[in-house]
Structures are given as C-alpha cells and as structure tokens.
Amino acid sequence: MLKKYRLRDYGFILIAMLAVVTTIGILAIRSANSEYMSKQLIGALLGVFIMVVISLFDYHLFLKLYWPIYAANLVLLAMVYFFGETINNAKRWVTIAGIRFQPSEAAKILLILFFAQFIMKHKERFNTLPTLAAIVLLFLPPWVLVYKQPDLSTSIMLIVVFCVLLFVGGLSYRIILGTLAVVIPLAIIFLNLVLQPDQTLIKDYQQGRIMAWLNPSEYENAEGYQQTNSMIAIGSGQLTGKGLNNNEIASVKNGNFISEPQTDFIFAIIGEELGFIGSTTVIVLLFLISGYCIMVAMKAPDIEGKLICTGVASVVGFQSFFNIAVTTGLMPNTGLPLPFVSYGLTSLITLYASMGFVLNVRLQGVRKYT
C-alpha cells in the first residue's frame, strides 16, 4: 500500500547517479549504432517511471507474494526453454503480446525478492541442513533453465548473487569455509576438464572464449578478435578520447572491428571516444551506485530490506566488474552487459525496477529511525 513519505528522504543522490551513467550509455550507444539510441532512451524513461512507482510501495507488499514471484520466474524461464527465439546460437528471448524480452535478466531481481522473504521466514533455522538443502533445491530449477539456454554468463551471475544472499542472510563461517574447501578444488578440476579437446561440459564456443583468454596471440583473429580490438580501442582513447561520433579513420569503431559494440563491448566505445576520463567516470559511478545500495542495506529496517539492497548491489557491482574485465582482457568473454550503459531494454528496465526497491528500503529505514 502507498504510504506518506517526506520528499527530503527520497534518494535523489542515487537518482542523479543513475541519470548520469544512463545518459553516458545512451550517448555511447548513439555513437556505436545510432539506430538503437531511441529505443534505449524510451527504455530509460520507462525504467525511471517503473522505479518511481515501485519506490512508493512498501516492499513488504511485494514480498508477501514471494511464492507467486518464484512461480512466475519459473514459468517465464520455462517459456524460453520451450518457445524461445534462437539468436546467435542461444535461446534467451521470448515474445509475449508482441513484446520480446529476456527473462534471465528479470530472474536476477525475482530471485533476490524470493530469497529475501524465504530466508527471513527461516532465519531461526537458517544454518540447519534441511533449510540450506531447501534453499539450494529452490535455486536449482531457475538456474538450470538459464544455464540450458545456454547462458553461462548469467548463470554464473546468479550463483554470485545467490552466494551473496546466503552470506548476508547469516550463513555460518564454518559452512562457508567447508564449502570453499570443496568448491575450489572442484573448480580447478572443472577448468582443466573443459580445456580438453573432447570435453562435453560446455559449448564449443564457450571453450573457445576461454582458450582465447589463455592464449590471446594464438586466437587474436578468431575467438579473441573482439577482446583484442576492444583493448586496442580503449588504449587508443588515451586521456580524453577521440570524441563521440568522430570520423577518424584510425578508429576501431569506425572500422567495424567490434561486432554489436552497443551491447557487451560498449565500454570499448567509451574508452576510445571518451578516453581515460570518460572510462573512469563510468567506473566510479557504477561503484558509487553499488556502494549506495550497500549503505542503504546497512540502515535497512529488517533482514528482507538488507537482502534486497545487497542483492541489487551485487548485481550492479559484480556485473560491472565482469563486463569491464572482459573488455580489458582480464577475463574470458562472458557476454554480460554493462549495467545502465549497454543496450538492452530488459536489462535496463529490470535494473531500474531493482533501484525502485532500494529507494523504498531507504524510505522505510528513514521512517523507522526518525
């Protein structure tokens, strides 16, 4: 239900940071491929509207529907599995009522909302085997549906967010250390297995991305083509960049050396055209947005609000790190968009909806402590 809030308690600092980083993204998208700019602008305006509406409703109202939220998430992901559209060898999109969207992006916030309420309901027995087993079993169905699309990058992000929620929810350090003692060796074994020529654990193109990361010079004209040119673009921007929409011949963007630059490699466009100053501005803004969410979590009135804010912070923070690490060659190509910057309406609108929940947690926290 709607409540009365004081205007001065609204998170205008967060909104200002979101406005700046989104504007930079829209300008970079216009420079990368102008035909997508208007769609991104419309998506941003719709996202802001949804954010404001959600921020005015008590987030507990949404959390009461945590089981329908979980069911809706499964239905949407299952629709992709059975009826989704295949683009670039991946089935990640579904069309409903003429609107095409990517349910795996919405899955991030839907799982955060579900587990925020579920963990709160079971907080007294959180570190018991039955409760932890139930949490893992509830996480597996949506995760498997995302992984099978195939969408390894988003499935990894879901695991990261899930781990953050467990940690913030109060997972015992003994369990954490015991799990790490098992997971780390298994991860090393898994990495060695997927590098074998006849492996079947991941898709061939996913293996190629890992090989290109490990041996960039050998794969610079194949799977490593995107990353190599991305690093060249970022380095060529130097301090101030070549300017948005420039016509320089010696430009990675103008030479079409990066395919679909408006999506996963938008940071390369920012690095080339806005230089070190523009790149640093984007990094700092995304860091501050994530940090703001954590600050709100620290003052949240309850564990549900704390989990929502830290979950959203992990999405923005880790996804930003992964995307920028890919464009600078620090990680294999993952295919994750840069939050609020890359082209993608589902991602943009979902992120703004997430920020609506953060804003309401802040408002509820202020009401409690004043």
Q: Provide the domain limits for residue 339.
A: 8-24+33-57+225-351
Sheet strands side by side (includes 99-101)? 85-87, 90-96, 99-101
The Cα 348–Cα 342 span in angstroms is: 8
The pLDDT profile of the chain, 370 residues, written as one tens digit per residue, is: 556 677 778 889 999 999 999 999 999 999 888 889 999 999 999 999 999 999 999 999 999 999 999 999 999 999 988 887 777 667 788 887 777 888 999 999 999 999 999 999 999 899 899 999 999 999 999 999 998 887 888 999 999 999 999 999 988 888 888 888 888 888 888 878 877 777 777 777 677 777 766 676 666 666 666 788 888 888 888 898 888 877 776 677 766 777 778 888 899 999 999 999 999 999 999 999 999 999 999 999 899 999 999 999 999 999 999 999 988 888 887 778 999 999 989 999 999 999 999 999 998 877 655 5
pTM of the model: 0.90
250 within domain boundaries: yes
- Tell whether 269 is covered by a domain: yes
Question: What are the angstrom distances between the C-alpha of 293 and each of 58, 299, 350, 359?
Answer: 17, 10, 16, 9
Q: Say if 116 falls within a structural domain.
A: no
336 within domain boundaries: yes
Question: Is 129 inside a domain boundary?
Answer: no
Domain count, the chain: 1
Contact by Cβ (8 Å): 60, 128? no
Is 140 inside any structural domain?
no
d(CA 362, CA 370): 12
In-domain check, residue 75: no
Asked if 145 contacts 78 with a C-beta cutoff of 8 angstroms, the reply is yes
Asked if the structure places residue 213 within a domain, the reply is: no
Is the bond leading into 150 cis (omega within 30 degrees of zero)?
A: yes
* CA dist list (Å): 343 to 23, 43, 260, 348: 12, 10, 10, 8
